[in-house]
Chains A and B, each alone.
Chain A
Amino acid sequence: MVIVRYRYIGSNVQIAMEQLWIDMAAVLAAAAPLVIAAMGETLSERAGVINLSLDGTMLLAAMTGFAVAFTTQNLILGFAAAALVGALVAAVLGVFSLTLGQSQTAVGFVLALLCTDLSSFLGAPFVRLPGPAVPFMPIPGLADLPILGPILFRHDPVIYASFLLVPATAYLLYSTRLGLIVRALGERPAAVYARGIDVTRWRYAMLILGGALVGIAGAAFSLDLKQGWSYRHTFGSGWIVLAIVIFGGWRPLRVALGCYLFAALEIVATRSQSALPGIPTQMIQVAPFVFMILVLALVNLASSPTVARWIATLPSVWQRPLLVIVYRLRATAPAALGQPFERP
């Protein structure tokens, strides 16, 4: 009797674990567009330029990617078109802010609204049409590994790309000479100028590269994650990516963690709907966004002098671990972020 009971519990646990791996895989998949966009924005902001138009760009790119892929039945062209759109919008932002000297925030915001409306207008003929989707491509061999298999290796190319993008971005920023220049552009452009680098041209390059990645992220929605096109298809993801970049302290690995955290929250929210029938769906959909803002507040609190002073008043046995936590959470923006560069 005892043995049977153990076996029963054992198989339940096994089913639960398998469900856990599937859930984790779902988180990784759901976060893929966010990760791609966030890496792009991290590069751009490290070079000193904020692209506030993210949400609009993602929508416009998602629509364009879907429209092109639908019309040509070619996924690659769809993604390419989306990347182009993302790069173009970023270029426009560059012209208005870097060349014409207007506020990056203002221009970015207006572009966000403009691109949202453009996507609604131009995308109207494509609403709710079934379109091509990125094929599911588990990696042979690796997909059968015990735990890592279902989590990491049963996805499609876009999600694999998002995995690779994170260490690639980190490597670029921290281990290459190029990365040194990019980081210096965001910290002290005057010093980079003194070394003979054309600050504006490099900032354009990073901004446009970031924009292209954001475009690909948009297409990752309409051609992969949430196939098709509809009004407000990406549901505010652009805004949350901006917040995640801040939360991640402009460090690629931490930013990616933030994306996965948010995706996890979204999935938890969806799952808990059945457990909480009293609360309307829309409210639960909204919860992760609010939570991210709270997390942002927490991160900023960690950097504030008030907290430092409060910690100093605690008994010393608490101080060290708290200080370590606070230090880890600290997020310092690139010193010259958002500030226009004037050639002296």
Chain B
Amino acid sequence: MRIAVEQLTKRFGTVWANNRLTIEFAAGQIHGVLGENGAGKSTLMKVLSGYLRPDEGRILFDGKPCQLRGPGDALAAGVGMVHQEPLDIPAFTVLENLLCAAPPGVFRSWRAAQRALEELADRLGFAVNPVARLDQLTIGQRQQVEIMRLLLCGAQVLILDEPTTGITAAQTRALFAALRQIAAEGRTVLFVSHKLEEVAELCHTVTVLRNGEVVPPGQLVMPQPQEYLLTLMFGDAGTAPPIYRPLPSSDSPPVWELRQVTVRSGTLHLLDLNHRFAAGRIIGLAGLDGSGQQVLLRLLAGRLTPDRGQVLVNGRDLSGASAIAFRQAGIEYLPADRLRDGLIGALSLTDHFALLQRTGVIVDRRTAEELARQAIAEYQIKATPLTPIAALSGGNQQRAMLALVPPTARGILAEQPTRGLDVASARAIWNRLQARRDAGCCIVFASPDLDEIMEYSDEVIVCFAGRIGPPIPRALLSAGRLAELIGGVGFEALVEAV
């Protein structure tokens, strides 16, 4: 099915997320949509899949205009979207998830559904266990299940939003093969990404979005030279090659030292960890979701007690101490979900600084407000000292969270420091983190974005299936090798070499 948009416009307040977009996606092809975070790709996809209604313009299916009142309408019209975290029901089995609220008449019985599922999986090259619970599967597997569900429910247009974040190299290959098969069968695939190499490998056409608009000359037939696409995406800024910094040696004790630590969390069991995290480093934890990075971060923050072994902070044994003791020793934890775990939405920046005060019965509002003002100036936070945090944009919230880290912090643990941020905010956050690193702090962060790991880490630790690898100086690593390592290829050799 052909799908097209004409003069599509969507505004959020004063921001034009989509500005008069006119694109046509032909049937039987894989169309790449390139652009940085904030370029408007997600909004376009949300409109096409029925989650948002456009302010102006129309959507056309096979030349006929269509009104979509919700995602149900979209699916009925034949458009299915696979989100980065698939919208499935984790507590259900694959089969239950397939049958739940399926369009009437599609599956005559449970048995028929299972047969159809297995047949499709065969055709696409996916391995599937109909009675497996979804919360026991990896993100890549859940993605495969979701794709099959949408196809079985009649999707003629498949939209994938950044599908290769958080899946192994092997799963990516399987995904691409399946997508080629799906396109060959006459369906339309929209592949949204910011990764040039993948778009180059997979897509028949590419459309670049920037600032909510289609970058002229519009839709291009692949192949296209990489530098040309980069210019379209970024203007002339491009990406500067990472600078190699020689790592400073230090005599001070490492910020963290793990001695034969064994820790358990859920189904993950990390054994015999012996690591030292020196001051003045940025260490990136790379790995698939649920491979152990989160467990390691929480262990270093004191939120997990090791079953065996010792955790030393600045030379002091803090094994089994509370998270508050870790905090007092200078360790700060920045969670991924800012509003849920990081900051208190209804309170202002002044209130947050007031909460950090440790002495005095009465709240010292004057000092707190002064500190807030300083933070706003220094971190360029778009807010007043009294604005509730919930009213700030994601980028400003992240800046606020960083501003609340005391200057005496020795270690910063960040779960996904730039999640959901636009390019400018992400760069600003990393500038601050690098400044902290230069001042002697040790920063350990996890990110599903391998580009981010490659660009900012001094050392990379690969996590795979609950095993933590040795630190690798970034200069010795390439993006391709990292992608293979997180999928387990060569991981054993890496661990044994130490």
For this complex, into which size category does the number of interface residues on chain A fall? 10 to 19
Over the window 94-119 of chain B, the binary record of Cβ atoms lying under 8 Å from chain A Cβ atoms (1 yes, 0 no) is 00100111110000000000000000
Other-chain contact of B88, A183, A191, A193 (Cβ < 8 Å)? A191
Q: How far is the CB of A69 from chain B (nearest CB, A)?
A: 40
Let me know if B61 is at the binding interface, CB within 8 A: no
> Which A residues lie within 8 Å of B102 (CB)?
177, 195
Q: At the interface, yes or no: B176 with Cβ under 8 Å from chain A?
A: no
Q: Give the chain A neighbours of B96 by CB distance below 8 A.
A: 180
Instruction: State whether the Cβ of B223 lies closer than 8 Å to any Cβ in chain A.
Output: no
Asked if A192 CB lies within 8 Å of chain B CBs, one says yes
Contact status A190-B87, CB under 8 Å: yes
Query: In this assembly, does B491 line the interface, its C-beta being within 8 Å of a C-beta of chain A?
Result: no
Whether B71 pairs with A195 at a CB distance below 8 angstroms is yes
Are B87 and A180 in contact, CB atoms less than 8 angstroms apart? no
B92 touches A184 (CB 8 A): yes
How far is the CB of B369 from the nearest CB of chain A, in Å? 32
Contact (Cβ within 8 A) A181 B89 = no
Interface pair B75/A344, CB less than 8 Å apart: no
Asked if residues A187 and B101 are in contact (CB atoms below 8 Å), the reply is no
A195, B102: Cα distance in complex, Å: 7
Interface residue? B335 (CB, 8 A): no
Let me know if B90 is at the binding interface, CB within 8 A. yes
Contact: B73 with A196, CB < 8 Å? yes
Q: Is A68 an interface residue (CB 8 A)?
A: no
Does A188 interact with chain B (Cβ within 8 Å)? yes
What DSSP secondary structure best describes chain B's contact surface? loop
Are B87 and A194 in contact (CB-based, < 8 A)? yes
Among residues 145 to 185 in chain B, which have CB atoms less than 8 Å away from a CB atom of chain A?
Answer: none
A335 within 8 A of B: yes
Complex CA–CA separation, A190 to B70 (angstroms): 12
Chain A residues positioned under 8 Å from B72 (CB to CB): 195-197
Tell me the residues in window 64-95 of chain B with beta carbons closer than 8 Å to chain A beta carbons: 70-73, 75-76, 87-92
Cβ contact within 8 Å between A196 and B90: no
A156-194 interface with B by 8 A CB criterion: 177, 180-181, 183-184, 187-188, 190-194
A195 touches B89 (CB 8 A): no
* A188, B88: Cβ atoms closer than 8 Å: yes
With an 8 A cutoff between CB atoms, is B51 at the interface? yes
Bound form: Cα–Cα A283–B96 in Å: 48
A192 pairs with B100, CB closer than 8 A: yes
Interface residues of B in 383-403 (CB under 8 A from A): none
Complex Cα–Cα for A184 and B93 (A): 12
Instruction: Looking at the assembled complex, report how far the CB atom of A251 sits from the nearest CB atom of chain B, in whole angstroms.
Output: 13
Given contacts A180-B96, A344-B51, contact A197 B101 (CB under 8 A): yes
Known: A188-B87, A188-B88, A190-B87. A177 touches B99 (CB 8 A): yes
CB distance from A161 to the nearest CB of B (A): 29
User: B101: which of A190, A196, A335, A344 is its contact (CB, 8 Å)?
Assistant: A196
| A-B residue pair count with CB separations less than 8 angstroms | 56
Q: Are A187 and B87 in contact (CB under 8 A)?
A: no
**Which of B99, B101, B103 has the most C-beta atoms of chain A within 10 angstroms of its own C-beta?**
B101
Which of B51, B76, B96, B100 has the most chain A CB within a 10 Å cutoff? Answer: B100
How far is B77's CA from A312's CA once the two chains are assembled, in angstroms? Answer: 53
Contacts of B90 in A (CB 8 A): 187-188, 335
Max chain A Cβ within 10 angstroms of own Cβ: one of B87, B89, B90: B89
Residues of A within 8 A of B51 (CB): 344
Task: List the A side residues contacting B91 at CB < 8 Å.
Answer: 183, 187, 335
Contact (Cβ within 8 A) B71 A187: no
A341 CB, min distance to chain B CBs, angstroms: 13
Q: Tell me the smallest distance from the CB of B98 to a CB of chain A, in Å.
A: 10
Which residue in chain B gives the minimum CB-CB distance to A182? B100
Complex alpha-carbon distance, A180 and B87, angstroms: 15
B73 touching A195 by the CB < 8 A rule? Answer: no
Which chain A residue has the least Cβ–Cβ distance from B76? A196
Give a binary string over B36-52; 1 marks a CB under 8 Å from any A CB, 0 the rest. 00000000000000010
- Please name all residues of chain B whose beta carbon is closer than 8 Å to the beta carbon of A183 when the two chains form the complex: 89, 91-92
CA distance A37 to B468 in the complex (A): 51
CB distance from A279 to the nearest CB of B (A): 44
The proximity string for A residues 198-227 relative to B, scoring 1 for CB distances below 8 Å and 0 otherwise, is: 000000000000000000000000000000
Cα–Cα, bound, A183→B87 (Å):
15
A187 to B89, CA, bound (A): 7
Q: Give Cα distance in the complex from A194 to B103, angstroms.
A: 12
Name the residue on B nearest A196 (C-beta): B72
- Cα–Cα distance between A167 and B34 once the two chains are bound (Å): 54
Contacts of B99 in A (CB 8 A): 177, 180
Contact of A180 with B76 in the complex, beta carbons under 8 Å: no
A335: B residues at CB distance < 8 A: 90-91
**Nearest chain A residue, comparing its CB with the CB of B73:** A196
B-chain residues with CB within 8 Å of residue A188 when the two chains form the complex: 87-90
- State whether B87 touches A191 (Cβ < 8 A): yes
Residue of A nearest to B49 (CB): A194
The 10 closest A-B pairs by CB, nearest first: A196-B72, A195-B101, A180-B100, A191-B87, A194-B87, A194-B71, A184-B89, A188-B89, A187-B91, A184-B100
Q: Contacts A191-B87, A196-B72, A196-B76 given; 9 further ones with Cβ under 8 A?
A: A177-B100, A184-B89, A184-B92, A187-B90, A192-B100, A193-B70, A194-B87, A197-B72, A197-B101
Instruction: Name 24 A/B residue pairs within 8 A (Cβ), A-sorted.
Output: A177-B100, A177-B102, A180-B96, A180-B99, A180-B100, A180-B101, A184-B92, A184-B101, A187-B89, A187-B90, A187-B91, A188-B87, A188-B88, A188-B90, A191-B87, A191-B100, A193-B70, A193-B71, A195-B102, A196-B72, A196-B73, A196-B75, A196-B76, A335-B90
